[in-house]
Each structure stands twice: as C-alpha cells, then as structure tokens.
C-alpha cells in the first residue's frame, strides 16, 4: 500500500475503533512520541496507550489531510479531533462527559511498509480550557 494509503488506513482503523488493525500497521519497534508525554517504544506499549485512551476518551478524527515526502519515508497528517472526555486521566481535570473539538496533527516515519514513528501534537492548554468550561 502507498504511504498515503497507509496513513489513511491507520486513521480509518482509529475512527472504527479497530485497535488490532491500527497495531498491525505499526513496526514492532514503533516509536510513539506522545503529546507532551515523551517517547515510548514498541507495539505493546502503543497498545497500552490505546487502552488508556479508550478508557478515558471517545474520539473521531475528521477533515484528515495526509502529506507524504517524495521519498515516501516521512508523512504528516492534520485533522480535527471531535471527542468526549469519559473518565479521569492522570494529571488532567475531572471527566464529566465534556465534549471538545480540537485541531491536531501527527508526523510519521515509514519503514518497510509500516509506521515506524508516530509523533502526535495538539494544544493541551486549549483542550484543558474546553473541558474546564464545559
């Protein structure tokens, strides 16, 4: 599959809630740079992250735009997160079912037809402001 199709498949699986399909698109040693959360390595660690996210949040990504460099080894995506904060997440405000809409983005390394790095970004201060005023 092309790098563009790979990234779209990753986000399609995310939006379907198909975590196994997402994980199948990752390299075994995937590096995951969490927004303001440091780098974590490995597919198993990524699966743990997804489980925490599923416990605390319900999200859909819309307006996804994928860009790939000429070599096909690096990509970026921009999107808008539409979410609900379902359960308290460590160090964040209390969850009461608040909804939020937040622009976000990600950067990818692609190796051997799989995603080898995912670096996520969103404005945490904007997210906190949205859930605190809800």
What are 68-78's pLDDT values in tens digits? 999 999 999 99
Q: For residue 15, what are its two tokens?
A: 């939006």
β-pairing, 57-68 vs 38-41, is unpaired
> Are the beta carbons of 53 and 92 closer than 8 angstroms?
no
Distance CA 41, CA 1 (A): 24
Reported as half-sphere exposure (CB side, CA atoms, 13 A), residue 118 has a value of 30
Q: What is the pTM of this model?
A: 0.94
Structural domains present in the chain: 3-133 (3.10.450.50)
Report the candidate in 25, 117, 12, 3 with the shortest Cα–Cα distance to residue 60: 12
> Are the beta carbons of 86 and 98 closer than 8 angstroms?
no
What letter would DSSP give residue 17?
T
Summarize the confidence of residues 32-55 as an average pLDDT. 92
- Chain centre distance of CA 77: 10
What are 82-129's pLDDT values in tens digits? 999 999 999 999 999 999 999 999 999 999 999 999 999 999 999 999
What letter would DSSP give residue 134?
-
Percent of the chain with pLDDT over 90: 93
Distance CA 123, CA 87 (A): 20
What are 10-31's pLDDT values in tens digits? 999 999 999 999 999 999 999 9
> Are the beta carbons of 80 and 62 closer than 8 angstroms?
yes
pLDDT of the residue at 68 = 98
pLDDT of the residue at 38 = 82
């Amino acid at each position: 599959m092309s790098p563009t199709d790979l990234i779209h498949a990753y986000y399609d699986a995310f939006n379907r809630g198909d975590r196994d399909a997402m994980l199948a698109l990752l390299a075994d040693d995937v590096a995951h740079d969490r927004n303001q959360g440091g780098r974590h390595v490995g597919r198993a660690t990524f699966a743990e992250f997804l489980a925490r996210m599923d416990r605390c949040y319900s999200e859909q990504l819309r307006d996804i735009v994928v860009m790939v460099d000429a070599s096909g080894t690096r990509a970026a995506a921009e999107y808008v997160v539409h979410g609900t904060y379902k359960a308290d997440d460590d160090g964040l405000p209390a969850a009461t079912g608040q909804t939020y809409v937040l622009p976000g983005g990600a950067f990818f390394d692609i190796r051997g037809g799989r995603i080898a790095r995912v670096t996520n970004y969103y404005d945490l201060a904007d997210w906190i402001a949205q859930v605190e005023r809800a």
